[in-house]
Amino acid sequence: MRKIAFLITLFSCLLCYSQRGKTGDRTFADRFPEDVTNEVSNAKLTVRNTVDHDVIVCLRNQTKNYLRHVYIRNGEEFTFDRIPITRLYVQFKSKEFFFEEKSTTNINFGENHTFTFFYDASMEGNYIQITEEEFFRP
């Protein structure tokens, strides 16, 4: 009887285990349109997450239309390749809040850029807080 109770408890714990996403996962693929890429631009953007929690990053073009999004674990980085040539806005979900970088990044042919999250965005002024609707806007 103890063995059965132990096995039931063990399996219950395994079923209740909450798994974090992996860097590169498209966590909200069902809420965004298809990714936008440019096969000839050869432009890249590396996003480094150096804060103590995971973030979800969304890239938007100069008219703030959706390009791509990705899940990035804390302490890891992800490289977006084949980015269209545009002015790039970086939006992200940090904990339960949504933010947008105040400045834009100009993406030109063949360039490699790096964007680093180096602190909790809710504590500094380089980002503006946006709504969930703005973050998930196509």
The CATH number linked to 45 is 2.60.40.10
The answer to whether position 9 is within a domain reads no
What mean pLDDT comes out for the span 57-78? 93
The answer to whether position 13 is within a domain reads no
For 117, the token pair is 């999250």
Number of domains in the chain: 1
Has residue 14 got a pLDDT over 70?
Answer: no
Residue that wins the pLDDT comparison between 95 and 119: 95
The answer to whether position 2 is within a domain reads no
What mean pLDDT comes out for the span 115-132? 74
The answer to whether position 10 is within a domain reads no
Q: Which domain holds residue 116?
A: 21-135
The answer to whether position 4 is within a domain reads no
The answer to whether position 12 is within a domain reads no
The answer to whether position 69 is within a domain reads yes
Has residue 121 got a pLDDT over 80?
Answer: no
Q: In the chain, where do the E strands start and end?
A: 44-49, 55-60, 66-72, 77-81, 86-94, 97-101, 105-107, 112-117, 127-130
Has residue 118 got a pLDDT over 80?
Answer: no
The answer to whether position 79 is within a domain reads yes
Phi (first) and psi of residue 64, to 5 degrees? 60, 30
